Amino acid sequence: MISGIHSALSGLTAIQKKIESNANNVANINTDGYKKTRVTLQEQETQGVEAVVQQIQTPGPMVYEQTSQGETLVEKSNVELSEELPNMMLSRRFFQANLKTVQIQDEMLGNLLDIKS
């Protein structure tokens, strides 16, 4: 039972990193030259999940902006809100599922202790 709790807690930690990455991307959507990050989940040997953060190097759109030097070509952020919002909604559901697993494991452990006493 403890391994089930360990797996769910590692899942919660990994999903938390995904949520933080999405929030950081959305916060920097208007930052010139910002490169978004993506978090992929990988299996650990100890029945857990590991979050791996990678920066996506695809260029953002190039636009002309008026500066003190005249018109200059500026690279915008490569963050797409249409990608970030669905990812955030999925992460929310994944977090809820892992949290429910912890709650069920806790109930099972409590019932086991009640039976033993």
Cα–Cα distance, 58 to 48 (Å, whole number): 31
Best-predicted range by mean pLDDT (26-40, 46-60, 97-111): 26-40
Q: Is-contact 80 38, C-beta < 8 A? A: no
Cα–Cα distance, 97 to 94 (Å, whole number): 5
Position 67, amino acid: T
Domain span at residue 53 reads: 2-116
Whole-structure pTM value: 0.82
Q: What is the mean pLDDT of the chain?
A: 90
* Maximum separation of any 2 CA atoms in the chain, in Å: 80
Structurally, the chain folds into a number of domains equal to 1
- Centre a 10 Å sphere on the Cβ of residue 65 and count the other Cβ atoms it contains: 10
Q: Residue 9: name the closest of 46, 36, 40 by CA.
A: 46
99: phi then psi, degrees, rounded to nearest 5: -65, -40
Tokens of 62: 């190039």
What's the pLDDT score for residue 4? Answer: 77
Cα–Cα distance, 1 to 8 (Å, whole number): 11
Region 65-80: mean pLDDT is: 90
